[in-house]
Amino acid sequence: MQTFINITQTLSVIAIPSIIFFIVTYGIIKKVKIYEVFVEGAKEGFNVGVRIIPYLVAMLVAIGIFRASGAMDFLALIISPITNLIGMPAEALPMAIMRPLSGSGALGVMSETINTHGADSLIGRMVSVMMGSGETTFYVLAIYFGSVSITKTRHAVPAGIIADVAGIITLVWLVNLIFG
């Protein structure tokens, strides 16, 4: 396990420089005018950044309202009977709700939960797995679709949510099984 971790950690450090080095070298071999082509491509960066602003503002403001209002506790109260059924402790529920909404929010909830219950408690482990396996689904949806000005998202959202729920059910079951 330790060697696996070492390998992947090393990989994540050297990956980006190696990829850039490889692509540039390959470009030179294939006689691409690398500098001109790079600048040509990079010009788009500004447009993409600006294009996603309205979508990001819309999504983050809605999430901000939800977070600041204390609606999180209200939602936790409503869905706790269901999450109890799958074996999720009530203390881990805020994390499950926060994870798809906000990366920084989820980080805060995770740190707080770990400080209260301990990193090696069942709850501490469960929120850690939630943090590691989750993704800020709504942020990704907003910027990916926003970057190409798509507002009719069809089945992407329901499928994404079902996948998230499946991930949560699996991890709750697994954590209870391994550490319970």
Within positions 86 to 145, which residues make up the interface with another protein, using CB under 8 A?
Answer: 100, 107, 110-111, 114-115, 118-120, 124-125, 128-129, 131-133, 135, 137-138, 140-141, 143-145
- Please give the single-letter amino acid code of residue 65: I
* 77 touching another protein, by CB under 8 A: no
Least CB distance from residue 12 to another protein, whole Å? 5
**Residues 21, 13: Cα–Cα separation, whole Å:** 14
Q: Which residue has the tokens 């819309």?
A: 58
DSSP H or E stretch at residue 157: helix 156-179
Please pick, from the candidates 37, 82, 86, 90, the single residue that binds another protein as defined by CB under 8 A.
Answer: 37
Other C-beta atoms lying within 10 Å of the C-beta of residue 171:
21
Nearest to 106 by CA among 115, 114, 97: 97
Between 90 and 104, whose beta carbon lies closer to another protein? 104
Please pick, from the candidates 18, 66, 91, 98, the single residue that binds another protein as defined by CB under 8 A.
Answer: 66
**Residues 55, 179: Cα–Cα separation, whole Å:** 41
Least CB distance from residue 179 to another protein, whole Å? 8
* 48 touching another protein, by CB under 8 A: yes
